[in-house]
Structure 1
Amino acid sequence: MRNKSRKIYSMLFLLLFLWGVLWEAESVYAANWGSVELTAEEAVLMDADTGAVLFEKNAEEKGYPASITKVLTALVVLEHTSPDEQVSFSHDAVYNVDRGSSNAQIEAGDVLTVNDCLHALLLKSANEAANALAEHVAGSREAFAEMMNEKAKELGCTGSHFQNPSGLFSEEQYTTAKDMGLIAIAAFHNEEFMKIEKDLRYTLSGLQRLPEGNILYMEHKMMLPESRFYDSRVVAGKTGYTRDSGNTLLTLAKEGDRRLVTVVLKDKSPYHYSDTSAMLNLGFQETEKQSLEDAEGFLEKIRAELVEKGTLTEETKLHFSSKVMLTLPKGETQEGISYLLLEEEAEKKEISAAEAKASDSGMPDAKDSALPHIVFLLDGRKVGEANLYREQNIRVMLSEASPKTKAAFFAVTISGFTIMIAIAVFLFGGGALYGAKNFADERKRRKKWKDRRKKRLEEMKISEEEFRILLEKRKKEKKN
């Protein structure tokens, strides 16, 4: 009897133990995100199309960017210049650099185009080009640094501060791997930047030091077919190094319809390349893009939340501005997807709308554009993002519009009715006789044109059908 009781208690204990293990496993269940071992102290892997963070290592720790800073410099320059603008190199731009640092043999007094300077900046990492571009755009390096910080903030960077356009070491010039990832994504979406990066070599002409020209070569070895680090997926990037920052590397890669970016900080050579390759393999091989499955369900939840907050009215319909894509581990379900409303993004839109609005423009209030940015999460990790727009009926639009907008609307409406009445009178009154006369004249013109064409074909001794075949043939030849 005792043995039987012991067996029962043992079975119960075992069942309770198994139940506890299963319950704990379920409660701590997480998506199967892959991982890699890196030499770099800080690193990030991100999807350039969804904004998803696929891997990170101390990605929000402070680090020094070195010359990958020049990617942000290029973005600011591209935003405020045209490629053919002339850039004059001052003595300060050429000589206010660290001794022995990267340069393109440009001398004070040289004049190059913005396009020349950007090639020197991104291929050769020329510090004098960074300085000259900064002076050309903002008047001074200090003023340009302010523009860099504004741009970084606009891109969502929260842990960075830039003090110079070249990346030369300064305690006040710092960033994070994640911030540089956001800058890299912006570069990937900039056509002019990508166009420059396609040139693996470029010749600077008209230099005082090298009248025959200076040939610049891409320094990112993963882009060079002859290098042992070559990776056909890598389409753009920037190297960096100072004694204090170590090796830094920013890389943009494409495979099929997917675009990924990687950043490593505080790395060692040549491991900055192998670390980058390992992250790209992880991203391309172990993750995939999926479209958001329950888009309507999420929209309804978001709409209800915004209605409760007073951002939307009950009548307002809400839509995602485009198809929402997520980046997840391969084969992962979307069961655990959640979302965040980023109100700060809405406030930025509201301020921008308010600043852009003229006092007498009669446009709707700025709050019309103040919809939050949506970030989708899995296990607390960003896997996608989306913007919203509202679809309003006329009654809601008028209730939120300014008095001038309402007056304009009614004026247009009244004018519209007036025009419709005038058209009706024209068509069904005396205008009908005028229209009938024009119709008869048009028939005469067409008959005359057909007779003339028939006569011309007879002179050419070809039939109507042969003429049509000839026309089709000529159209095809023009297209080709």
Structure 2
Amino acid sequence: MTQFIKKVSSFFLCLFLTAQAFPGTAMAAADWPDNISVQADGAILMDADTGTILWGQNIHNQYFPASITKVMTALLVIENCRLDDTVTFSHDAVFNVESGSSNAGINEGDQLSVKDCLYALLLKSANESANALAEHVAGSREAFADMMNARAKELGCTNTHFANPSGLNNPEHYTSPYDMALIARAAFNNPIFEEIDSTTYYKLPPNSINKEGLAIYPGHKMMRKGSPYYYPEIVGGKTGYTTLAGNTLITCAEKNGMKLITVILKGSTPQYWADTRNLLEFGFNNFTSLKAADYEKTYSSITNDLNFSGLSITKPEALVLDPDSRIILPKTADFYDAQPELSYDISDDDPENAIARINYRYQDRVVGSTFLEINDSLVESAVKSKLDDAPGTEATETSPEAVDASAGKDAAKLKADRAAQAYREKALRPFEIPLTVWLILGSVGVTIAIGGLIIFMIYRKHKEEQDSLVRREQRLKRLKESGVSADEFDSLLQQRRGIYTTRKKGWRKGRFKFR
């Protein structure tokens, strides 16, 4: 019986959670927009907040990236250096470049800050700056390329291999539209990178070649107001070109709370500007970015229905949704068209207080996620309450009473901190359903099971009666066809029953007599 109750309870719990997750009648979700084309061989449009691919063409094919490589170079430098570090330009850094390639007029022995080198790298696409920064971070360009490949793997790149920090031609230096979008997303989510890359004018300090310094501007024409390709929503980007790579371009733009990234590989000039504009317009016109916490209601009752780690709290919200997480959907879709999937797979990169992730899936793609997080205000309230209850006195600070009170406060704070830490450790475990809930569900399940059994017995009896009537009708039909009346049949039936009863009684008497 116990096992039966558990099974029934589990069944009704599943029904409860299913009802919570699907409050209304499901409607067919709107199709994912795809009414766009580009002339570049490889291209992608990605949402920067969620990493969702909005549109793509040959996104996993391998291409030469040219100077958009420097986006990865800049990201690694920012992650591993201080901006005020001094970089000394070696002979190899200055002269180990292709003749006629982009440079910022920096000579062997010149010294610049990391910050100045990054501006030269991203705005002027200076190859000597890429080499010098690589040597400053890793000791050599080759060692830096190893770091680039390791970082690319961390970001999820599977079709990328870097051989140098600048993007100059090398058969072992390649990437894909999808991989480059992952790198660009990480870069534009870094505030230092975004600040430098979004700059439209910068003046490098004087050096041995440029005694008055050098004014530099971004090569990305869509960022410059005087350009016919100007696009006001552009955040930043990076151009690239070699004879093998063709025109390559990374672009980030932001509008109406939505941040988009485009990558063009193996493009042509001036078409790659038009391709980029078309991708951005397609994204802004067909999609919308929503904060999940503003709409998510499926999991709102969990904190009210469950006893969270046994903590006695004055506020109902033991867990809160991450306020900044977003999902992206077609404008013709509704938030509730995206199906939530609860997961306890939390990584070190996720918010510290997160105990679960909610992934949202629209048709065949993940369109964003949010986190269920511990409400820090509960811990802070608990600590404050314990401190307020600590022994104290109004004695002067130098009196023995004040010293004792201070010691009491310190001890109380230590105790409160330990209690808060213990709470966090318990709270970071997946929450459990209280025994009371199980008992209620079990009793409900038993009641329903008994009611179902009674209904089944009534149904079975009714069916037997109906079957008996059907059989009688069939017999009467056969009797009529054979010329025997119903009365004659009943008389014969009574006679047979009498004979059967007499025989049965005699058999029983004989049986008992035998025994």
**What is the rounded CA distance, in whole Å, between the counterparts of 1:236 and 1:58 in structure 2?**
24
**SS of residue in 2 equivalent to 1:346:** coil
Q: Which residue of 2 aligns with 1:56?
A: 56
Runs of 4+ in structure 1 over 6 Å off: 26-29, 312-317
Distance 2:290 2:205 in 1: 48
Q: Return 325-334 or 147-156, whichever deviates more.
A: 147-156
Residue by residue, what CA displacement relative to the aligned partner does 1:381-408 show, whole Å, maximum 9, x if unpaired?
A: 232122443569x9xxxxxxxxxxxxxx
Q: 1:156 to 1:421 in 2, by over 3 A?
A: same
Shift in alpha-carbon separation, 1:289–1:106, aligned structure 2, 3 A: same
Question: In 2, Cα distance between the equivalents of 1:342 and 1:148?
Answer: 31
- Alpha-carbon distance in structure 2 between the residues aligned to 1:286 and 1:230: 21
Cα offsets for 1:355-379 (capped at 9, x unmatched):
xxxxxxxxxxxxx989565542212
2:409 aligned residue: none
Aligned partner of 1:263: which letter? V
Alpha-carbon spacing, 1:280–1:299, altered in 2? closer, same or farther (3 Å)? same
TM-superposition CA deviations, 1:241-289 (whole Å, max 9, x none): 1222221100011224332111111111111110100011011122112
- Distance verdict in 2 for CA 1:341–1:161, change over 3 Å: farther
Give yes or no for contact 1:89–1:110 (8 Å, CA) kept in 2: yes
1:124-177 CA distance string (max 9 Å, x none): 111110010011111111222232233333333343222221112223222221
Aligned to 1:275: 275
Identity %: 42
Once residues 131 and 401 of structure 2 are traced to their aligned partners in structure 1, the CA distance between those partners, rounded to angstroms, is 71
More deviation in 331-340 or 100-109?
Answer: 331-340
Rounded to whole Å, the distance in 2 between the matches of 1:148 and 1:299 is 42
For 1:300 and 1:149, locate their aligned partners in 2 and report how far apart those are by CA, in whole Å.
Answer: 45
Checking the alignment, whether the CA contact within 8 Å between 1:30 and 1:379 is kept in structure 2 is: no
CA gap of 1:253–1:42, structure 2 versus 1, over 3 A, is same
Q: Are 1:331 and 2:332 matched, yes or no?
A: yes
Shift, 1:331, TM fit = 2.8
What is the aligned partner in structure 2 of residue 307 from structure 1?
none
Of 317-326 and 228-237, the range deviating more from structure 2: 317-326
Aligned equivalents of 2:36 and 2:193: distance in 1? 30
CA contact (8 A) 1:52 1:383 kept: yes
Equivalences, count: 363
Q: Judge conservation of contact 2:30–2:330 (CA < 8 Å) in 1.
A: no
Name the Cα RMSD after superposition. Answer: 3.9
Name the SS for the 2:335 alignment partner. Answer: coil
Amino acid at match of 1:170: N
Query: Which residue number in structure 2 is paired with residue 285 of structure 1?
Result: 285
Counterpart position of 1:378: 362
Is 2:180 the partner of 1:210?
Answer: no
Distance of 1:32 and 1:287 partners within structure 2 = 9
Counterpart of 2:115 in structure 1 is 115
| Matched letter for residue 390 of structure 2 | M
Structure-2 separation of matches of 1:384 and 1:194 = 22
Q: Which amino acid aligns with 2:257?
A: D
Report if aligned partners of 1:204, 1:216 keep a CA contact under 8 Å in 2.
yes
- Secondary structure in 1 aligned to 2:143? helix
Q: Distance in 2 between matches of 1:425 and 1:196?
A: 56
Cα separation, partners in 2 of 1:234 and 1:109, compared to 1, 3 Å: same
Aligned to 2:159: 159
Measured in 2, the distance between the counterparts of 1:153 and 1:374 equals: 25
Amino acid at match of 1:284: F
2:264 is aligned to 264
Q: 2:329 is matched by which residue type in structure 1?
A: L
Paired with 2:285 and 2:231, the residues of 1 have a C-alpha distance of: 15
Partners in 2 of 1:54 and 1:121 — Cα distance? 30
| Other-structure match for 1:36 | 36
* Pairing 1:408-427 to 2, within 5 Å after superposition: 420=390
Distance 1:416 1:370 in 2: 26
The unaligned stretches of length 5 or more in structure 1 are: 1-25, 302-311, 354-367, 395-411, 433-480
Closer, same or farther in 2 for the Cα pair 1:300/1:148, shift >3 Å? farther
Q: TM-score, normalised by structure 1?
A: 0.65
Structure 2 unaligned segments of length 5 or more: list them.
Answer: 1-25, 303-307, 312-316, 403-515
Q: Does 1:229 align with 2:199?
A: no
Q: Is the 8 A contact 2:70 2:121 kept in 1?
A: yes
CA 1:300–1:135 in 2, change beyond 3 Å: closer, same or farther?
A: farther
The TM-score normalised by the length of structure 2 is 0.61
Q: How does 1:122-201 map to 2 (within 5 A)?
A: 122-201=122-201
Summarize deviations over 1:5-26 as a string: whole Å, max 9, x none.
xxxxxxxxxxxxxxxxxxxxx9
Aligned positions of 1:368-407 closer than 5 A: 374-390=358-374
Within 2, Cα distance between the matches of 1:59 and 1:106?
37
Partner in structure 2 of residue 465 of structure 1: none
Number of the residue aligned with 1:74: 74
User: 2:61–2:176: 8 Å Cα contact kept in structure 1?
Assistant: yes
